[in-house]
Structures are given as structure tokens and as C-alpha cells.
């Protein structure tokens, strides 16, 4: 029966896909992360219409999803040459070069910086409302060393532009700048302002991550609890359990939250249950309850034999 099922799936999928328009087919394949199949469809369309900008962009996107930055760059460069006034093409071209720069040696990366800057700046000039480009410029100018043009002042300029377009993005950008520049109090101030204005899970996560980096677990847990009051996401139960387990803090609360997470778990929650079992093992280790700790670490290992799980079991056995 299983063989028949997979055979039918294999035969029927192309028929279903081709009942759609080619662009819908590609979008559907992207959603399923079937990038090689998407490339086959895209190249077929480009054989018929080599200058179809939509499918050249799709091809760049497909290679980008596969982290094949050279191929992505080639296709976005074609788009820029075909339409130099399109801000999004410049943004994607600069972004692909930026990702390549992160994956090559420092000398090759230095050779890309000028083109990356020009592409992002051109995108920003062409579209005064392009939020993603301004975010890219904020991060680029903060991360570059001063000797090759890095500048907190320039980064802040684009953060101000972001704030004029979207207060939430502006506050998050300024929080990022101050966090990167090791000014946690100012970073906290702007992340809190972003929460007040927007209150998205992203806003709360930025502040939680800051508290964890600053080794302020009580503040992190309190912030996650506020996020849960607003958004009621099961994933936040895991986050509370994680912080409790890592910092040996509020263990009863952490244990309770992890039980809730496991009971209500769905794939949408993101973190596999095995990691919740691992956090429970940590909590019971902190409580000096070897039997319960072993029970939960064995459950974690039964699902996946990850290195942190094995290491934790060795620690528990040595109690």
C-alpha cells in the first residue's frame, strides 16, 4: 500500500502543478521548498521567453533559497541591467552579494563591499519607502569595520529614515544599533518603545534576546510572560522553560511551562518536543532528582541522538 501511495503521489503531483499557471506553480514549489523542481519549471519558461523578468527573478530567488549565491547574483545582475530603475532588483542584487561576502574569505569579501553599498544605496534612492533596503543599510554600516566604511552615524541615519516610514522598524533598528555597540540600556529603551508601539512577537523576542545576552534571566522570563499574555502562543511556554533550565531559575514555573508545551505541541511551535524533554532533564538535574532527569534525557535521546543530549546524560549519570 505504501508503494502504491508514493507512486500515485509521484504521478499526480505534476498534473496538479501544471493545472496552475507557471508562476503559481513556482510559488507553490517554493512554499514546499522544492527548489530543484522550481528551477526546472522556471528554465522551461525562460527557454520560451528568455527576457521574462518575472522568471529571471524567480530563478535568482530559487538559487538564493539554495544559498547558491553566484547563480543568484548572475540572475539579479541581469535584472538590474534590464531595468536599472527597479529598487527591488538592486536590493536583491546587493543582498545576494552580501550573503556571498559572508561565505568567502575576508579579502574576497572586501572586493564586494563597494558593489553591495552601491546596490543598497541605489535601491534606497529609487524607493524612499523601501523598508528592507534601509534595514540592510543599518546592519551593513554597523557591521563593517570603520577602515572600510563602517559608520554608526550612517547606520543611525538609515534608522531615522526607517522611523519615518515605520516607528516600530525605526525603534527596532535603533535598538539593534545600540545593542551592537554594547550600549544595552539604550537598546532596552528602544526595544521597549517598539513593544509599546507594535507589540509583535518579533519586538518581544528582541528584548528577550537582549536580556539573555546580558544574563538577566528574570527580566527575560517576565518579558516572555508579557508576550504570552498578548499573543497566547504555545512556543512561549518552551521559551520560559528554556530560560529557567539554562539559568537554574524559577524551576517550578519552567517545569510547568514545559509540560504545557509538550501537551499542546504542534509542528507550528517550531522547537521539537525532544528539546522540551532536554530542558526538563536540565531542570530535574538542578533539583538533584537524578531519576527524573534520566527519564527525560532518555526521552530526548529516543527522539534524536544529538550531541547536547548525550553530553547532558553523561552529566546526569555523574551526579
- Identify the residue with better confidence: 64 or 20: 64
CA–CA separation, 94 and 100 (whole Å)? 10
- Residue range 149-159: mean pLDDT, rounded: 89
- Residue range 192-204: mean pLDDT, rounded: 96
- The label of the residue with cell 527596532 reads 172
User: What is the pLDDT of the chain when averaged over all its residues?
Assistant: 90
Confidence of residue 4 (pLDDT cuts 50, 70, 90): very low
Q: What domains appear along the chain, each with residue ranges and CATH number?
A: 1-66 (no CATH), 67-120 (no CATH), 238-319 (1.25.40)
CA–CA separation, 152 and 177 (whole Å)? 7
- Tell me the three state secondary structure of residue 33: coil
Percent pLDDT > 70 in the chain is 92
Per the CB < 8 A criterion, the answer to whether 82 and 53 are in contact is: yes
pLDDT at 126 over 70: yes
pLDDT at 18 over 90: no
CA–CA separation, 307 and 298 (whole Å)? 13
Q: Which three cell numbers stand for residue 69?
A: 549565491
What confidence tens digit (pLDDT) does each residue in 42-80 have? Answer: 999 899 999 999 999 999 999 999 999 999 999 999 999
- pTM comes to 0.82
pLDDT at 10 over 90: no
Per the CB < 8 A criterion, the answer to whether 234 and 266 are in contact is: yes
Q: Which three cell numbers stand for residue 62?
A: 530559487
What is the pLDDT at residue 108?
Answer: 84
What confidence tens digit (pLDDT) does each residue in 218-243 have? Answer: 999 999 999 999 999 999 999 999 99
Instruction: Give the DSSP letter string of 262-304.
Output: HHT--GGG-S-HHHHHHHHHHHHHHTT-HHHHHHHHHHHHHH-
- The label of the residue with cell 527575560 reads 220
What is the pLDDT at residue 147?
Answer: 55
What is the pLDDT at residue 286?
Answer: 97
Amino acid at each position: 500500500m505504501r508503494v502504491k501511495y508514493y507512486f500515485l503521489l509521484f504521478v499526480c503531483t505534476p498534473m496538479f502543478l501544471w493545472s496552475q499557471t507557471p508562476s503559481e506553480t513556482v510559488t507553490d514549489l517554493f512554499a514546499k521548498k522544492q527548489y530543484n523542481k522550481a528551477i526546472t519549471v522556471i528554465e522551461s519558461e525562460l527557454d520560451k521567453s528568455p527576457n521574462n523578468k518575472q522568471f529571471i527573478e524567480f530563478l535568482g530567488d530559487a538559487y538564493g533559497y539554495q544559498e547558491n549565491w553566484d547563480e543568484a547574483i548572475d540572475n539579479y545582475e541581469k535584472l538590474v541591467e534590464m531595468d536599472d530603475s527597479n529598487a527591488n532588483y538592486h536590493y536583491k542584487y546587493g543582498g545576494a552579494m552580501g550573503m556571498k561576502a559572508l561565505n568567502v574569505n575576508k579579502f574576497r569579501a572586501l572586493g564586494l563591499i563597494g558593489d553591495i553599498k552601491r546596490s543598497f544605496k541605489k535601491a534606497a534612492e529609487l524607493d524612499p519607502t523601501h523598508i528592507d533596503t534601509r534595514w540592510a543599510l543599518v546592519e551593513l554600516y554597523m557591521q563593517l569595520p570603520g577602515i572600510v566604511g563602517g559608520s554608526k552615524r550612517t547606520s543611525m541615519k538609515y534608522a531615522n529614515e526607517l522611523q519615518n516610514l515605520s516607528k516600530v522598524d525605526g525603534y527596532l533598528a535603533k535598538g539593534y544599533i545600540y545593542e551592537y555597540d554594547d550600549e544595552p540600556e539604550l537598546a532596552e529603551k528602544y526595544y521597549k518603545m517598539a513593544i509599546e508601539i507594535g507589540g509583535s512577537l518579533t519586538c518581544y523576542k528582541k528584548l528577550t534576546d537582549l536580556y539573555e545576552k546580558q544574563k538577566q534571566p528574570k527580566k527575560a522570563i517576565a518579558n516572555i510572560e508579557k508576550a504570552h499574555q498578548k499573543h497566547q502562543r504555545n512556543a512561549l511556554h518552551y521559551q520560559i522553560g528554556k530560560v529557567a533550565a539554562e539559568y537554574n531559575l524559577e524551576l517550578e514555573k519552567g517545569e510547568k511551562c514545559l509540560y504545557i508545551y509538550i501537551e499542546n505541541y504542534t509542528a507550528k511551535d517550531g522547537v521539537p518536543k525532544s528539546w522540551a524533554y532536554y530542558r526538563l532533564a536540565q531542570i530535574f538535574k538542578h533539583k538533584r532528582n537524578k531519576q527524573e532527569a534520566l527519564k527525560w534525557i532518555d526521552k530526548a535521546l529516543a527522539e534524536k541522538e544529538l550531541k547536547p543530549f548525550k553530553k547532558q546524560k553523561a552529566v546526569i549519570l555523574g551526579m
